[in-house]
């Protein structure tokens, strides 16, 4: 039987950067994000004799996956089995699966597909075993995390907090702070350049602790996480803006001062950030910026500010612009 699931990327207000265990993707600190309404990634999964991983592009053409890319799916599957063993559900998943990944994420917008992909595979595995064990969303989130840390958050709709707990395989998962109807926020994604990033997040996490700013970052994280949760629950945009921008620039400071240095932001990023700050103060707009491991600026705003931000984004020559709002968690495609 083929199971079809889909999931979407998320954008973090409080960033996940640094693991206490790289293989198990156990974060050092908590993080917090908003799941986006689009673009979505669909997974078709079925039991198979061997692991087969295929990726089909939007135009219907098959994309060649590298061995490293395929290995990531295999690793998640093997770790999912290991985790299920700790729940007493060891032989519930088949010995191998065939996966077809279809991503609607346009290339060059700097939106990583991994969070959506591994949340969708986790949902598919949960669906495959539901006659034997009904997993909770927290348990689905653990399985998503085993493929990509930030995928733990894409299991949930709306706002999700990814909480670092202990050192065991099941010791970190996300939980929902508020659903997608709580606060209508929009993400206008402005991507200045199409360039493949040199060091991906998975490898980048391992460098975090080499930065002299790392221990101070870890010290500040619980306070920021709490402020961010409060801001969301109170729908206090100004508070959300302050803590999000503070955390984003702090993560990039850690990245830039790590050994080797990771420089993800470019001149265009800084220009857009400055212009958003100017626009915000000149027009009193509820708008904030945040960047992940790339030069793409996520300009997040309320309904009231949306038109002005859209107009600004449309004026950005040479940039790819993409728009999403707050969205749904990983689910079955009926």
Binding residues vs ligand DP6 (CB under 6 A)? 12, 15-17, 31, 112, 114, 148-150, 200-202, 205, 292-293
Q: Smallest distance from the beta carbon of 66 to ligand DP6, in angstroms?
A: 14
**Which residue's CB is nearer to ligand DP6, number 40 or number 201?**
201
**Which residue's CB is nearer to ligand DP6, number 178 or number 251?**
251
CA pseudo-torsion sign 205, 208, 214, 215? positive
Whether the CB-CB separation of 135 and 155 falls below 8 Å is answered with no
End-to-end CA distance of the chain: 14
Q: Smallest distance from the beta carbon of 131 to ligand DP6, in angstroms?
A: 30
* CA distance readout (Å), 283 to 48, 73, 189, 301, 304: 57, 46, 20, 13, 11
Angle at 298 between CA 294 and CA 300, to 5 degrees: 160
**Which residue's CB is nearer to ligand DP6, number 94 or number 200?**
200
C-beta neighbour count of 1 within 10 angstroms: 7
**Which residue's CB is nearer to ligand DP6, number 11 or number 328?**
11
Q: Smallest distance from the beta carbon of 293 to ligand DP6, in angstroms?
A: 4
Q: Smallest distance from the beta carbon of 329 to ligand DP6, in angstroms?
A: 16
Q: Smallest distance from the beta carbon of 92 to ligand DP6, in angstroms?
A: 25
**Which residue's CB is nearer to ligand DP6, number 31 or number 244?**
31
User: Distance (Å, rounded) from C-alpha 57 to C-alpha 35?
Assistant: 22
* CA distance readout (Å), 230 to 208, 234, 235, 236, 243: 27, 6, 8, 8, 11
């Amino acid at each position: 039987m083929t199971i079809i699931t889909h999931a979407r990327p998320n954008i973090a207000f409080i960033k996940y950067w640094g693991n206490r265990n790289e293989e198990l993707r156990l974060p050092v600190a908590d993080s917090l994000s908003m799941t986006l309404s689009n673009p979505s990634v669909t997974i078709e999964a079925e039991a198979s004799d061997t692991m087969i991983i295929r990726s089909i592009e939007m135009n219907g053409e098959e994309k060649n996956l590298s061995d490293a890319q395929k290995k990531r799916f295999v690793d998640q599957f093997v770790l999912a089995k290991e985790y299920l063993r700790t729940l007493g559900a060891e032989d519930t998943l088949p010995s191998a699966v065939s996966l077809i990944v279809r991503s609607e994420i346009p290339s060059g917008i700097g939106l990583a597909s991994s969070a959506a992909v591994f949340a969708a595979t986790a949902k598919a595995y949960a669906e495959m075993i539901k006659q034997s064990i009904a997993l909770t969303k927290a348990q689905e989130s653990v399985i998503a995390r085993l493929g990509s840390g930030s995928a733990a958050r894409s299991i949930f709709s709306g706002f999700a907090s990814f909480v670092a707990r202990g050192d065991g395989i099941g010791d970190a998962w996300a939980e929902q702070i508020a659903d997608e109807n709580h606060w209508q926020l929009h993400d206008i994604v402005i991507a200045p350049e199409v360039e493949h990033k040199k060091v991906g997040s998975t490898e980048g996490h391992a460098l975090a602790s080499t930065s002299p700013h790392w221990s101070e970052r870890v010290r500040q994280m619980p306070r920021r996480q709490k402020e961010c949760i409060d801001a969301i629950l109170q729908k206090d945009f100004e508070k959300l803006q302050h803590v999000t921008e503070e955390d984003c620039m702090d993560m990039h400071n850690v990245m830039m001062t790590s050994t080797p240095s990771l420089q993800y932001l470019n001149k265009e990023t800084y220009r857009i950030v400055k212009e958003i700050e100017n626009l915000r103060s000149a027009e009193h707009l509820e708008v904030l910026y945040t960047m992940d491991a790339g030069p793409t600026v996520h300009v997040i705003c309320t309904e009231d500010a949306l038109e002005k931000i859209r107009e600004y984004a449309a004026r950005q020559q040479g940039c790819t612009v993409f728009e999403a709002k707050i969205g749904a968690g990983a689910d079955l495609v009926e």
